[in-house]
């Protein structure tokens, strides 16, 4: 730095009259990068900057979304008062008025339509404390069976698959720091380069150390570019693909017989089921040549260690659970699990995608990954909550099925926290029609989201800078998000909003908490002895160790780096291989004359989910300010479409108009549209509502469509 520059910076520093530093974690993806917001006051103007902070998972790295996260949190569009809809317009009201109205409406709905007529729709972007409390609120304060959350659209198949195969579901079986030392990696339906950018150095290091990377994706992405071999398969063909790979591994005698004998059930049945599966047929279904299938299978089977990572590309399918189980089959058959540098990872999506699926927000679940249908589990949790077991409701229905119940008229009221289903649910036109039928919809959000516009009441919720609590990141590490920035206006923390609603409903004695930490202390006990055991974790321990990997059963326990080293979580300690069929139970949409192309959906780096947050950040919005359709140039030509022109993409259910981006990186039979935009660009108007029978997740990644130049 020159003398002149130094002088300039010194004088700049002197101008800073005040500096506040707020510790937090990124509000976006599952990496949960630790960060600091630096707020400087210069003369009377405030400036803001976000910087990364060192931690074991991301080492201080941030991606572009994290760098700009404060922009939406500080946006003038934040909802700062409760808003009540009066004659179609939102008017600010006091918390007292808002809560009293909620009491009246919820009480009358339950009197008229029954306890189960009220529903709760939660999120995996809230803290563990809030996810836990929302489950308790539904069962104890409302006494409804109907609670589910946005994770049903996200990770339900990964969770179900892991539970069925291993007996337990922590997304990553190994900590991230093992990745650099593995010999082979399969990345199936994941775009980590855009969706979890700060994870990349682990994979780059593996590559530098000589690992062979195989990617499975219908598109070339920044992630597949890293791969040595890219299987550019047809959308929705992953079950056939994994069956083909496993057949080759078995035929080439690359299985680990000792491991199979000692630790696995079901191998013989799987082997038998694959005997009649023809690899020519596999190549035809998947669109991947037999040579490439052999190359992938033999390299993965031969190497001493291997890891498989899956994400929404293979999971958001009506046979997503089967695909997850198929990839796990490969690991079990090759003995690549429970050992150093070998294991499975379902790459979590939302900030608390892992923790929020463990503590009772799911329709069939109680805290600590307990089951609402198991008598002993019910008794244990009822005891902690101070209610009787008989008073706990039973299992409810999944997120999309709740919308169907609303349409049928059996659910008539809803409390929705931290989600935007109008944009994120499939079959969006139906979802809108259904939500409009609700007698009373309460939405807790930071903004007037597309869904909040339909609400009768909006409650102003806090941002990541203002809401302390724990989040469980991609590797299963429980982390403490500090959040000291004062709440703006009348904004309240989500946990406080839940407690306030319980209070007016006459159930305040069950919700006496004064801080997130007090809730966590109860969660610890509620999870004790469960599969997701957090009992040994305290806020102090999280601060001292920068996070703890669960399970952590007692205070002297250091947390669990690697799962399944000596046994799996099923009762007899063995893992279960699964016979899976490439003919799904729920038929997939296949291209027809009328709708000849596959549509798949996903993400871009600068936008996050339904875009409510990132579209309010000037720096991020500027990068991608509108949706698009990625399309092969030959396909564009065939349908008389120009590059960068407006295109109508249409399915049986609706249509969107988006701009074409011609690229030979995508298959000729497939188009790709991201789902971050609303209204005429909301791609979920096109997507089918078929659900995976095992986990009730919609097949968001596969729709049959046609394309044409937009008229205007
Ligand atoms: N920038 C950004 N990052 C995010 C998010 C975001 O919205 N934006 N969201 C977060 C959340 S909640 C989640 S769940 C994760 C999602 O993370 P990912 O699952 O990695 O993201 P997607 O783009 O949905 O899908 C991944 C890839 O699957 C491919 N794919 C589509 N169909 C198929 C198929 O049939 N088979 C195979 N093998 N692949 C297919 C797509 O081409 C895409 O490249 O990202 C998290 N991180
Ligand atoms: N076609 C298609 N559809 C998809 C997907 C896909 O790949 N393709 N992916 C699916 C996936 S993986 C997911 S995770 C879902 C996500 O779907 P959603 O949950 O609907 O998406 P978000 O945009 O995260 O919505 C969060 C809302 O909560 C608000 N919010 C943010 N933080 C807070 C907070 O701390 N408290 C409160 N009260 N509110 C807050 C935001 O302003 C926003 O309105 O979408 C799914 N839908
Ligand atoms: S979006 Fe994900 S990778 Fe990017 S800074 Fe936030 S947590 Fe980290
Ligand atoms: Mo997600």
Q: Are 176 and 584 in contact (CB under 8 A)?
A: no
Q: What is the mean pLDDT of residues 684-709?
A: 97
> With 90 as the cut, is the pLDDT of residue 7 above it?
no
Distance set, CA 284 to CA 240, 279, 355, 666 (Å): 10, 8, 40, 18
Specify which residues 306 forms β-bridges with.
Answer: 184
CA–CA gap between residue 306 and residue 340 (Å, rounded)? 10
Q: Are 100 and 125 in contact (CB under 8 A)?
A: no
Instruction: Give 418's pLDDT tier (boundaries 50, 70, 90).
Output: very high
Residues contacting ligand 1 via CB (< 6 Å): 29, 154, 188-191, 194-196, 216-219, 221, 233, 235-236, 238, 311-314, 349-350, 600, 602-603, 605, 607-609, 672, 701
CA neighbours within 13 Å on the CB side: how many for 702? 30
Q: What is the mean pLDDT of residues 465-487?
A: 98
Interior angle at CA 155, CA 473 and CA 580, nearest 5: 130
Residues of the chain with CATH 3.40.228.10: 156-347
- Residue 276's CB is within 10 A of a number of other CB atoms, namely 8
pTM strictly above 0.85:
yes
Q: What is the mean pLDDT of residues 668-692?
A: 97
> With 60 as the cut, is the pLDDT of residue 316 above it?
yes
Q: What is the mean pLDDT of residues 158-168?
A: 98
Query: Could you tell which of 191, 231, 237 is best to mutate to test the pocket of ligand 1, judged by most ligand atoms within 8 Å of the CB?
Result: 191
Percent of the chain with pLDDT over 70: 98
Instruction: Give 1's pLDDT tier (boundaries 50, 70, 90).
Output: low
Q: What is the mean pLDDT of residues 487-494?
A: 98
Query: Could you tell which of 399, 402, 424, 444 is best to mutate to test the pocket of ligand 2, judged by most ligand atoms within 8 Å of the CB?
Result: 424
> With 80 as the cut, is the pLDDT of residue 10 above it?
no
CA of 699 to the centre of ligand 1 (A): 13
CA of 191 to the centre of ligand 1 (A): 6
Average pLDDT, the chain: 97
- The rounded Cα 184 to chain-centroid distance in angstroms is 26
Question: The tokens 């089951």 sit on which residue?
Answer: 371
Name which of 377, 452, 603 is nearest 121 in CA terms: 452
Residues of the chain with CATH 3.40.50.740: 83-154+356-510
Q: What is the mean pLDDT of residues 386-415?
A: 98
What CATH architecture applies to the domain 83-154+356-510? Answer: 3-Layer(aba) Sandwich (3.40)
The dotted CATH code for 14-73 is: 2.20.25.90
**Which ligand sits nearest to residue 675's alpha carbon?**
2
Q: Are 150 and 361 in contact (CB under 8 A)?
A: no
Confidence (pLDDT) at 17? 78
Q: Which atom of ligand 3 is nearest to the CA of 35?
A: 5
Give Cβ neighbours of residue 376 (< 8 Å, ≥ 6 apart). Answer: none
Question: The tokens 């409510």 sit on which residue?
Answer: 612
568, exposed or middle or buried, with CB in 10 Å at 0-12, 13-18, 19+?
Answer: buried
Q: What is the mean pLDDT of residues 168-184?
A: 97
> With 60 as the cut, is the pLDDT of residue 712 above it?
no
CA of 52 to the centre of ligand 3 (A): 10
Name which of 707, 700, 630 is nearest 666 in CA terms: 630
Percent of the chain with pLDDT over 90: 96
Per-residue pLDDT tens over the stretch 41-80: 988 889 999 999 999 999 999 999 999 999 999 999 999 9
> With 80 as the cut, is the pLDDT of residue 4 above it?
no
Distance spanning both ends of the chain, measured CA to CA: 55
Q: Are 354 and 317 in contact (CB under 8 A)?
A: no
Confidence (pLDDT) at 12? 66
**Residue 77 phi/psi, 5° resolution?**
-85, 0
**Residue 153 phi/psi, 5° resolution?**
-90, 0
Instruction: Give 339's pLDDT tier (boundaries 50, 70, 90).
Output: very high
Confidence (pLDDT) at 6? 66
**Residue 350 phi/psi, 5° resolution?**
-75, 165
Which residue CA neighbors atom 29 of ligand 2 most closely?
418
Q: Are 480 and 539 in contact (CB under 8 A)?
A: yes
CA–CA gap between residue 224 and residue 228 (Å, rounded)? 8
Which residue CA neighbors atom 6 of ligand 3 most closely?
66
Per-residue pLDDT tens over the stretch 222-263: 999 999 999 999 999 999 999 999 999 999 999 999 999 999
Question: The tokens 């109860």 sit on which residue?
Answer: 522
Torsion of CA 59, 63, 67, 69, to 10 degrees: -110
Specify which residues 371 forms β-bridges with.
Answer: 365
- Top pLDDT among 15 and 105 is at 105
Three-state DSSP at 308 gives strand
CA–CA gap between residue 477 and residue 5 (Å, rounded)? 42
CATH number among 2.40.40.20, 3.30.565.10, 3.40.50.150, 2.60.120.260, domain 597-709: 2.40.40.20
Name which of 209, 203, 180, 228 is nearest 340 in CA terms: 180
Which tokens hold the place of 236? 């929705």
Indicate if the alpha-carbon torsion angle 357, 360, 361, 363 is positive or negative: positive
Question: The tokens 């069929």 sit on which residue?
Answer: 581
Give Cβ neighbours of residue 245 (< 8 Å, ≥ 6 apart). Answer: 293, 296, 297, 300, 330
Three-state DSSP at 344 gives strand
CA–CA gap between residue 528 and residue 523 (Å, rounded)? 8
Name which of 499, 391, 394, 406 is nearest 444 in CA terms: 499
CATH number among 3.40.50.11540, 3.40.228.10, 3.40.190.10, 3.90.550.10, domain 156-347: 3.40.228.10
Give Cβ neighbours of residue 410 (< 8 Å, ≥ 6 apart). Answer: 113, 116, 117
**What DSSP string describes 128-158?**
HHHHHHHHHIIIIII--S-EEEGGGGTTHHH
Specify which residues 480 forms β-bridges with.
Answer: 470
CA of 150 to the centre of ligand 4 (A): 8
Give Cβ neighbours of residue 555 (< 8 Å, ≥ 6 apart). Answer: 536, 538, 541
CA–CA gap between residue 49 and residue 184 (Å, rounded)? 39
Confidence (pLDDT) at 595? 98
Query: What is the SS3 assignment for 516-529?
Result: HHHHHHHHHHHHCC
Q: Are 683 and 582 in contact (CB under 8 A)?
A: no
CA of 65 to the centre of ligand 1 (A): 16
Query: Could you tell which of 150, 584, 603 is best to mutate to test the pocket of ligand 1, judged by most ligand atoms within 8 Å of the CB?
Result: 603
**Which ligand sits nearest to residue 605's alpha carbon?**
1
Q: What is the mean pLDDT of residues 516-522?
A: 98
Cβ of 444 below 6 Å from ligand 2: yes
For the sheet with 477-481, list strands across it: 469-472, 477-481, 548-549
E strand or H helix at 608: none
CA–CA gap between residue 473 and residue 28 (Å, rounded)? 11
Residues of the chain with CATH 2.40.40.20: 597-709
């Amino acid at each position: 730095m020159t003398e002149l520059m130094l002088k300039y910076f010194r004088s700049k520093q002197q101008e800073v009259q005040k500096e506040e530093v707020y510790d937090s974690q990124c509000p976006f993806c599952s990496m949960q990068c630790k960060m600091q917001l630096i707020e400087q006051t210069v003369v009377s103007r405030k400036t803001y900057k976000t910087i990364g902070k060192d931690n074991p998972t991301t080492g201080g790295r941030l991606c572009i979304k994290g760098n700009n996260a404060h922009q939406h949190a500080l946006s003038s569009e934040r909802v700062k008062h409760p808003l009540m809809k009066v004659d179609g317009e939102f008017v600010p009201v006091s918390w007292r008025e808002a809560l009293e109205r909620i009491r009246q409406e919820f009480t009358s709905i339950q009197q008229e339509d029954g306890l189960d007529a009220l529903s709760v729709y939660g999120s995996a972007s809230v803290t563990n404390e809030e996810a836990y409390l929302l489950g308790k609120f539904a069962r104890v304060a409302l006494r409804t069976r109907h609670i589910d959350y946005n994770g049903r659209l996200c990770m339900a198949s990964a969770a179900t698959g892991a539970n069925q195969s291993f007996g337990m579901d922590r997304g990553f079986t190994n900590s991230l720091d093992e990745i650099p030392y593995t010999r082979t990696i399969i990345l199936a339906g994941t775009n980590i380069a855009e969706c979890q950018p700060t994870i990349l150095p682990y994979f780059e290091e593996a590559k530098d150390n000589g690992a062979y990377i195989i990617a499975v994706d219908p598109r070339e992405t920044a992630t597949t570019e890293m791969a040595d071999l890219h299987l550019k398969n047809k959308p929705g063909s992953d079950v056939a693909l994994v069956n083909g790979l496993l057949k080759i591994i078995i035929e080439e005698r690359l299985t680990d017989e000792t491991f199979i004998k000692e630790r696995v059930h079901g191998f013989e049945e799987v082997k038998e089921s694959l005997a009649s599966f023809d690899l020519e047929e596999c190549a035809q279904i998947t669109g991947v040549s037999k040579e490439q299938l052999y190359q992938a299978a033999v390299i993965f089977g031969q190497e001493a260690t291997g890891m498989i990572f899956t994400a929404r590309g293979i999971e958001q399918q009506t046979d997503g659970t089967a695909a997850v189980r198929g990839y796990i089959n490969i690991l079990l058959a090759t003995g690549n699990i429970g050992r150093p540098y070998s294991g499975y990872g379902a790459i979590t999506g939302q900030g608390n995608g892992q923790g929020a699926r463990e503590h009772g927000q799911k329709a069939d679940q109680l805290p600590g990954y307990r089951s609402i249908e198991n008598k002993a589990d019910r008794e244990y949790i009822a005891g902690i909550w101070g209610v009787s077991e008989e008073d706990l409701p039973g299992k409810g229905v999944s997120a999309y099925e709740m919308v169907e119940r609303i349409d049928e008229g059996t659910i008539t009221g809803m409390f929705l926290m931290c989600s935007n289903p109008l944009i994120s649910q499939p079959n969006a036109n139906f979802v809108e029609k259904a939500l409009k039928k609700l007698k009373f919809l309460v939405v807790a959000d930071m903004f007037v989201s597309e869904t909040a516009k339909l609400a009768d009441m909006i409650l102003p919720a806090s941002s990541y800078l203002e809401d302390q609590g724990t989040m469980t990141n991609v590797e299963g590490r429980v982390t403490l998000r500090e959040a000291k920035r004062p709440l703006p206006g009348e904004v309240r923390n989500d946990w406080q909003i839940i407690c306030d609603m319980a209070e007016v409903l006459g159930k305040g004695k069950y919700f006496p908490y004064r801080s997130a930490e007090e809730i966590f202390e109860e969660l610890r006990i509620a999870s004790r002895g469960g599969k997701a055991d957090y009992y040994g974790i305290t806020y102090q321990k999280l601060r001292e160790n920068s996070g703890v990997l669960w399970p952590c059963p007692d205070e002297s326990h250091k947390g669990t780096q690697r799962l399944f080293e000596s046994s799996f979580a099923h009762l007899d300690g063995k893992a279960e291989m699964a016979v899976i069929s490439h003919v799904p139970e729920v038929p997939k949409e296949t291209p027809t004359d009328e709708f000849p192309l596959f549509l798949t959906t996903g993400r871009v780096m600068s936008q996050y989910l339904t875009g409510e947050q990132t579209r309010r950040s000037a720096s991020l919005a500027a990068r991608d300010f509108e949706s698009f359709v990625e399309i092969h140039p030959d396909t564009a030509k065939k349908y008389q479409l120009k590059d960068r022109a407006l295109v109508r993409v249409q399915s049986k259910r609706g249509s969107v108009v988006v701009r074409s981006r011609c690229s030979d990186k995508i298959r000729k039979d497939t188009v790709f549209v991201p789902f971050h935009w609303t209204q005429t660009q909301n791609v979920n108007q096109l997507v089918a509502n078929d659900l995976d029978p095992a986990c009730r997740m919609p097949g968001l990644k596969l729709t049959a469509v046609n394309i044409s130049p937009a008229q205007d």
